[in-house]
Amino acid sequence: MSARDEILGRVRRALADADRSSPPVSRDYRVTPPDGADLVALFVERVTDYRATAVVVPDADVSAAVEAALAGRRPIVPDGLPWPVDGLADTGQAAAELDAVDAVVTGAALGIAETGTLVLDHGPGQGRRALSLVPDVHVCIVRADQLVYGVPQAVALLDPARPLTWVSGPSATSDIELDRVEGVHGPRTLHVVVADSFRA
């Protein structure tokens, strides 16, 4: 008998006597976000809690804010980034070549205000996953209208068929005495630029 058939058979036997009527899952936890919540302010506060930096600028000033965040580093820039940023193009560099690149600038699919999370779905302007992983500085631009309140709103918008990377602050570890330190294998520095035309 194949392992598959044997395991499925064991599952069947294990539940032979079980009462299999499971009550419907209550979705009470999907609460309506608080009325008039200032998502931008909350997002910035929560991102900053992770010891990332965050600035809010009008759309026209995004390129300047990115340049300031880069502080002279030359980034790799994925195709399709809607804001003009000077840097290397993604030509399919191998990981070792990316390791020689100082920074990366990407957009995001959305941002989660409550948790200070950026989600990349690696579509246009975000690049393949290695781009936003190997360079040591990640500058991520998110539009204010891409912010949602909490995790349920984010999951509902995301397409699982795409690879997703959820980023909440710079790489970190608590593995030594459960003392959190930033900076292990992922980008050790995360700068977030929130493009908010209405705040201009």
Cβ distance to another protein smaller for residue 62 or 126 = 126
Distance CA 153, CA 128 (A): 24
CB nearer to another protein: pick between 36 and 160: 160
Q: Are 164 and 157 in contact (CB under 8 A)?
A: no
The answer to whether residues 189 and 137 touch, using CB atoms and an 8 Å cutoff, is yes
Helix or strand or coil: residue 8? helix
- If the CB atoms of residues 15 and 71 are measured against another protein, the closer one turns out to be 15
Token pair for residue 102?
């100082």
CB of 147 to another protein, least distance (A): 14
For residues 121 and 30, what is the distance between their CA atoms, to the nearest angstrom?
Answer: 23
Encoding tokens for residue 75? 């980034």
Nearest distance in Å: CB 111, another protein: 11
Tokens encoding 137 = 């500085």
Cα–Cα dist 70/6, whole Å:
56
Q: In what order do the strands lie in the sheet with 75-77?
A: 53-57, 189-195, 137-143, 103-106, 75-77, 88-89
CB of 86 to another protein, least distance (A): 24
Nearer of residues 57 and 171 to another protein, judged by Cβ = 171
Nearer CB in complex with another protein: 60/157: 157
* Rounded least distance, CB 65 to another protein, Å: 23
Taking alpha carbons only, the member of 104, 98, 169, 90 closest to residue 132 is 104
- Nearer to another protein (CB atom), residue 25 or residue 72: 25
